[in-house]
Structure 1
């Protein structure tokens, strides 16, 4: 019985299992419910769930028309984004899938256009008829009419006789024209006469862009499914790809400050700890992430389904000989003067270079700005959103206030308003460098990466 209850626990693992058996509409409603109730919270978990759901949507779609497939994905994407607008990665995955569909549709359109160009060009060599040229036929009548009886010019007579003999030995020009075959009056309307296209004239295409006589367009779903599979593979490899740049940014005997139990940050530090010796000061991120942070530092298990699935490590930093100092969040400013570098994780990155990260990140970034300590943010490309933060307050999500002050303190709670923000907005001027799975970038360079991954027509789908 306990095993059955654990298997039915709402979360990413249970959703992926039910996705294989449930109908597609039921799976969409299930993911919407999980997003609304925040039973899937982490960015990568939401991205994986969205990618697998869209993979199922595309594979279950039975129409080969790209426009209808785009409309279907847009409808599903709007419902998912409306369920949890603060999860930027959901919209990012939808935009990338829409871009895949548009790219495949354009490739198919280009292939059809090349086929129409090839079909409109006559591949057979064009041989001109062997009749006399008009430039030679004109002088014949002129010379024959200019010769009068009684003329004694023998030279002109010889020339005229030669031209007349040549013209009489060749058939007339009209004799080389093809003679049309007789057509019955009964078959005149059922078999209309079609003229062969001229050399270089394109074959007219249908309004849908297809070439007549070439059959229906191919099914582009196979290519789109392969593209979504590549996105899923990228989500599973993004932390390892980011960790590959660790030795370029972490040096020996440095003091590095970090925050929360981000799996991307931990793998980044573990990669550098294999060859470098440094010190890590770890802020505990109270009250929302302190338990997971303590478990990450000590290497003990943490009873969270998503954390155990995607944030479990073989060894903690202390097992590799790295000195790790766990401090409360209030001591960040006091120790920042001794820190050489700040490495932070993020929940999402916005179009202006700012980021939404765990609560307490903005305080750390401002303290680093005062002490002129470089701030490095590690993030996968799938977290880069083309959405501009016009309203910063709308991006902040608030959690359970009882984690700050317990409900047992009833008298105190009635007198004050208690808020527990889960995230902070950090402006771009407080960040010095972004490290993604594509390398290191300045905040002002992120718009180029965003323009390469998302199409303009899909930003506001």
Structure 2
């Protein structure tokens, strides 16, 4: 499951960079299709004459203003007529200058040469006419891009950098978890642990540098008991197990040199000694999105005993072990090993009996009190938030 988690994170990284690339391409296409020159509204065509109208101009009622004035001036002498005509002409010029010019529009059925308005947000604005400067060769770069456009990021380089960050996280995760040890382990405490995990070892070693405490180590029969026996006896055998487990020699040597007393007990004595334990610190194979975990076979029995005695259970694990999978069928998460570890083949054929050797146990979230990761301590109910921050929904199911 850990390999699947790393693959999901790499897929999420690739999807994120691909989305950023699409957004950049969209910006480039938008900049290429939009004229950056300021647009001025086109001049409105008008058939009205802007100079002052003469006396022969038609009035609003269809009659001629000049004819009416001439009819009124009949019977008068020429001097008085010239004076009247000059005063009427000046009054007409003042009125025409105060009125806006009359604009004549063509029929709505006729087609215009202006481009149509294509956006509903520009219905009240003038249509943008392409500027002849936008097509001038001076605004184009030698690579074919117009000025103001930016180059897309190197997709491959970004993905490689992201993978490098994940690799750095994996190399530092145990040390980051160990930095929280002094906050949870105090002097003269009795701590029960199970298996010889690298993460648990560094966590205990960091606290042992400044605190004195006792470690009770359950033997974890039948799959890891030989390695556990070697831890206490100081006789490390050749290992062929999980790479995440530390060699018994390193585990035992570093803790005893730091003044930690390591006591080996059989699995059957866990419940009897749980009342003397201050806290349980466990490693894990993987952590599920609901707060449960998959760990070495026998872990659930220890967690159940701790719950009965009200002993806090602390699980140390890196974020890379946190899986977005929900245990709808937790039995499918349990792997089975060689049954001869439980009942040797030398015992002969046995009828009407099936021998099973589960390698892992599923521990529900209600049996765990605290998870300590490289991001700090978290309650089991908070893990869903960390899952949503590290994985994408489309990558949960392969």
- TM-score of the pair, normalised by structure 1: 0.64
Secondary structure of the corresponding residue to residue 116 of structure 1? helix
Q: Answer yes or no: is 1:89 the counterpart of 2:2.
A: yes
Kindly indicate whether the alpha-carbon contact (under 8 Å) linking 2:289 and 2:323 is maintained by their aligned counterparts in 1: yes
Secondary structure of the corresponding residue to residue 65 of structure 2? coil
> Which residues of 2 match residues 1-400 of structure 1 at below 5 A?
88-126=1-39, 145-146=58-59, 148-149=65-66, 150=69, 151=85, 152-159=87-94, 196=130, 219-297=154-232, 301-304=236-239, 311-312=246-247, 313=250, 315-400=253-338
Kindly indicate whether the alpha-carbon contact (under 8 Å) linking 1:296 and 1:316 is maintained by their aligned counterparts in 2: no
> Which residues of 2 match residues 408-427 of structure 1 at below 5 A?
408-410=346-348, 413-414=350-351, 416-427=353-364
1:400-442 deviation per Cα after TM superposition (whole angstroms, max 9, x unaligned): 111122221216x446432211111111111111111111111
Distance 1:161-1:340 versus aligned 2 partners, 3 A rule: closer
Secondary structure of the corresponding residue to residue 345 of structure 2? coil
Secondary structure of the corresponding residue to residue 281 of structure 1? strand
Kindly indicate whether the alpha-carbon contact (under 8 Å) linking 2:339 and 2:357 is maintained by their aligned counterparts in 1: yes
Find the counterpart in structure 1 of residue 393 from structure 2.
456
Secondary structure of the corresponding residue to residue 153 of structure 1? helix
TM-superposed CA distance for 1:444, in Å, is 0.7
Moved more, 250-259 or 306-315: 306-315
- From 369, 373, 380, give the equivalent of 1:443: 380
Distance 1:218 1:265 in 2: 41
TM-superposed CA distance for 1:103, in Å, is 0.1
Find the counterpart in structure 2 of residue 192 from structure 1.
none
Distance 2:260 2:379 in 1: 29
Distance 2:394 2:38 in 1: 45
Distance 1:280-1:156 versus aligned 2 partners, 3 A rule: same
Distance 2:356 2:199 in 1: 28
Find the counterpart in structure 1 of residue 141 from structure 2.
none
TM-superposed CA distance for 1:153, in Å, is 2.2
Secondary structure of the corresponding residue to residue 440 of structure 1? strand
- TM-score of the pair, normalised by structure 2: 0.73
Name the one with the larger helix percent: 1
Kindly indicate whether the alpha-carbon contact (under 8 Å) linking 1:297 and 1:317 is maintained by their aligned counterparts in 2: no
Kindly indicate whether the alpha-carbon contact (under 8 Å) linking 2:197 and 2:244 is maintained by their aligned counterparts in 1: no
Q: CA RMSD in A?
A: 3.6
Secondary structure of the corresponding residue to residue 292 of structure 1? helix
Distance 2:51 2:305 in 1: 99
Distance 1:331-1:309 versus aligned 2 partners, 3 A rule: closer
Give unmatched runs, 5+ long, in structure 1: 1-87, 168-194, 199-210
Distance 1:212-1:298 versus aligned 2 partners, 3 A rule: farther
1:297-316 deviation per Cα after TM superposition (whole angstroms, max 9, x unaligned): 55654423676797354842
Distance 1:302 1:118 in 2: 68
Distance 1:292-1:155 versus aligned 2 partners, 3 A rule: farther
1:59-101 deviation per Cα after TM superposition (whole angstroms, max 9, x unaligned): xxxxxxxxxxxxxxxxxxxxxxxxxxxxx12221221111111
TM-superposed CA distance for 1:126, in Å, is 3.9
Kindly indicate whether the alpha-carbon contact (under 8 Å) linking 2:53 and 2:93 is maintained by their aligned counterparts in 1: no
Distance 1:374-1:127 versus aligned 2 partners, 3 A rule: same
Secondary structure of the corresponding residue to residue 444 of structure 1? helix
Distance 1:111-1:361 versus aligned 2 partners, 3 A rule: same
Moved more, 290-299 or 213-222: 213-222
Structure number with bigger Rg: 2
Distance 2:145 2:15 in 1: 23
Give unmatched runs, 5+ long, in structure 2: 70-84, 102-128, 133-143
